[in-house]
Homo-oligomer: A and B are copies of this chain.
Amino acid sequence: MSKRPPITNRVKELREANGGLSQAALGEAVGVTRQTIIAIEQGRYSPSLETSFRIARLFGVGLEDVFGWEGD
């Protein structure tokens, strides 16, 4: 049952905007693996709220500056 969640994300953009942080470096910085970052960037599943918060706060922005809800 794991469809693609109706969620958009700007992780890749933010990574590149922050001095070209690599997926591996981002993962390490927020405490998840590179695979997890890849899956999130590709929207393969909906991350946990905790992981989402960690990513947003690392970039110093709000949750909705990183993740969007399709159909707003």
Interface residues, chain A, with chain B CB atoms under 8 Å away: 5-7, 46-53, 57, 62-64, 67, 69, 72
Partner of A49, one of B5, B62, B72: B5
> Which residue, A49, A53, A64, has most C-beta atoms of chain B within 10 A?
A49
Q: Write out the residue numbers on chain B whose beta carbons fall within 8 Å of the beta carbon of A53.
A: 7, 67, 69
Residue of B nearest to A62 (CB): B64
Contact yes or no, A48 B47, CB < 8 A: yes
Q: Write out the residue numbers on chain B whose beta carbons fall within 8 Å of the beta carbon of A48.
A: 5, 46-49
Q: Write out the residue numbers on chain B whose beta carbons fall within 8 Å of the beta carbon of A57.
A: 69, 72
Contact yes or no, B67 A64, CB < 8 A: no
Q: Write out the residue numbers on chain B whose beta carbons fall within 8 Å of the beta carbon of A47.
A: 48-49
